[in-house]
Amino acid sequence: MDSTPISRISNPSPYQLPQHVSNDRQRARQLTIAINKGRYPFAHDEGLDEERRLPAQLGPWPGASKLRRAMTKLVGILPPKELFVSELPPEVRFTGPKFFRHGTHAGSMKLRQAWVKLTNFAARTHSDASFERLLGTIPPPSVKNGWESDAVFARQRLAGVNPIAIRRCADNPGDALAKAADQVLIVRHRTTFKKAMKAGRVYMTEYPMLWDSPVQEHVRGNATLAAPTTLFYTGDDGVLMPLAIQLKPREIKDRNPVFTPLNRRWDWMMARGHVQASDSHYHESISHLLETHLVSEVFALATLRNLHPDHPLNQLMLPHFEHTLAINEQARKNLLAEHGEIAKSMAAKHTGNINLVRMTWASWKYQDHSLDTDLENRDVRDLPGYLYRDDATKVYKAIDEYARGILGIWYQTNEDILNDPELQTWAREVSNPSAGGIKGFPEKITTREQLFDIAANVIFRASAQHAAVNNGQFGAYGWVPNAPVAMYSALPDHAPEDDRPLFTKADYYKALPDRKRALGQTGMVWLLSEPTERSILRAGELMAFTKEHCFEAYQVVGQFRRQLRAISDGIDLRNDEIGFEYNYLKPQNIDHSISI
């Protein structure tokens, strides 16, 4: 009869690496894994072409009956269909409390908007007051009181809903932008563009892929979608301010004017509105959908398919995938569908946004998208006032120490890594083009350090990074004049002449979404900003890390929670000092998984 090897941890536990259990137990684990591979099949997008596809996703559960599949198609025209029909295995669907909470949150929004429609009859939204009426009983986000300020516009690159677009401007952005920025710097900041560049004080955002035909051909007929470049400057006071905006890609030389804060007010505000609409597409498609939801789904599937429930890495990561497959299924069948709010509200509709994801995924590489590498590549480590970077770095450090502390109990040598067949199969599937297809992910994990880094990155992406790009959606897009997801005004093909404005305040409000689309925008982001129910402070709740099963792991979990509470206290103190609340990465507000 087979004997069970001695446990590698001080407190005997049923949660072990596969090489540390008996042969009989190994065979039983392999049987469970084989069953799970059948229950969680990969599905692949056809894409624009062979190179430009969406990340792999979960296919229909083979156990779903033909009736359920038929019903799924049937109720596709009757929202909210996913509240009633799912093709997922039961254990990864919404739990009862989550189902109830999500349903009541959505139902509340529907009731509020029904009342707004009954009490507001004007089709156009022509003023701040008309947009406030559309919110009904929902208090407007705080940005309502300062959205017209250039400082608030710039601060949204540092502490807004899409804080990962800004980067240092390392090279000449083009003569037109450089000349315009130089004028602003001379008049407003008493310096020159050449000096500002030499001092490393010029930053930029740009979205050139929005100009590509797979996106532009899906822009609705009466809307426009710019592909702007925006330059920013941080002065001696450490405040980031905008310098210049060019609405078409920099490579286009003709009929591509540059706008600056020196222009007439509403010419500048119109350019800013186009930037916000373009940023919303990059944010929702890339920063939010691709970087968190879809990439995390690949890791969730590989974990469910290859790591036995008793595997320590499964126990560590699985809580951070709770409800992720369910919310992604709901998004595909509702939000990203033809009848969804993205199709109805955003300029490029659902089809253009999905193509943007496909184009980005074609060149996406795992090694370029850790927090540390991203900050390094964008050269923003010393950017003043960058609250996302400050808080994300602290939270990541705590997650990294947590992952190392837990996994180090089981993986005591590099040989433990190399001899773990479940771990190695997991890595091969994540990297395999025919399976997970994550480029740059190692086909074989060879060291403890490598595994610890991977685990920390996966957990950070599924918790803190998602919070950073999700929790602020109502705070930005809930006030439509601040950040419309579509602009209904043609891109200007010439600059203002003789100080005569191209646009008035009335033109700006006319360019914003009408009542129907504004209701769609605010309703969508209010729902997506559902309050956190199970924060990352509840990490480590699975049985493997309890005092009874592994006291060492129990101590690591306790230390992790204490670190997170200390980070929260520090954020509160910082917010009091600066007079501005940035709470998206406050640990109490970080959901432990992608569940909305």
Q: Give yes or no for residue 125 having a pLDDT over 80.
A: no
**Nearest Cα to 260, choosing from 177, 197, 191?**
177
Per-domain residue ranges of the chain? 18-59+283-474+529-589
Task: Look at the alpha carbons of 369, 371, 372, 375 in this order and tell me if their dihedral is positive or negative.
Answer: positive
- Confidence category of residue 73, pLDDT binned at 50, 70, 90: very low
Q: Is 256 helix (H, G, I), strand (E, B) or coil?
A: coil
Q: Which residue has the tokens 């210049």?
A: 244
Q: Give yes or no for residue 80 having a pLDDT over 60.
A: no
pLDDT digits (tens, 9 = 90+) for 219-246: 999 999 999 999 999 999 999 999 999 9
Q: Give yes or no for residue 7 having a pLDDT over 80.
A: no
Q: Which residue has the tokens 């929202």?
A: 79
Give the containing element (helix H, strand E) for 281.
helix 265-282
Asked if 18 and 26 count as a contact pair (C-beta separation under 8 A), the reply is: yes
- Confidence category of residue 61, pLDDT binned at 50, 70, 90: low
Q: Is 58 helix (H, G, I), strand (E, B) or coil?
A: strand
Query: Which pair of structure tokens corresponds to residue 147?
Result: 């959205």
Q: Please give the class, per CATH, of domain 18-59+283-474+529-589.
A: mainly alpha
pLDDT digits (tens, 9 = 90+) for 344-372: 999 999 999 999 999 999 999 999 999 99
Q: Give yes or no for residue 123 having a pLDDT over 70.
A: no
- According to DSSP, the residues that pair with 529 across neighbouring strands are none
Find how far residue 52's CA is from the centre of its chain. Answer: 20
pLDDT at residue 76, rounded to an integer: 37
Backbone angles phi, psi at 271, to 5 degrees: -60, -45
pLDDT at residue 83, rounded to an integer: 37
Query: Which pair of structure tokens corresponds to residue 538?
Result: 């509840």
Q: Is 62 helix (H, G, I), strand (E, B) or coil?
A: coil
pTM to 2 decimals? 0.93
Pairwise CA distance, residues 358 & 298, whole Å: 15
Pairwise CA distance, residues 343 & 255, whole Å: 30
| Chain mean pLDDT for the chain | 91
pLDDT digits (tens, 9 = 90+) for 456-504: 999 999 999 999 999 999 999 999 999 999 999 999 999 888 778 999 9
Residue 572 carries which side chain, given as an amino acid letter?
D
- Confidence category of residue 188, pLDDT binned at 50, 70, 90: very high
pLDDT digits (tens, 9 = 90+) for 145-176: 999 999 999 999 999 999 999 999 999 999 99
pLDDT at residue 86, rounded to an integer: 64
Segment 54-62 mean pLDDT: 77
In this prediction, what percent of the chain has a pLDDT beyond 90? 77
pLDDT digits (tens, 9 = 90+) for 175-184: 999 999 999 9
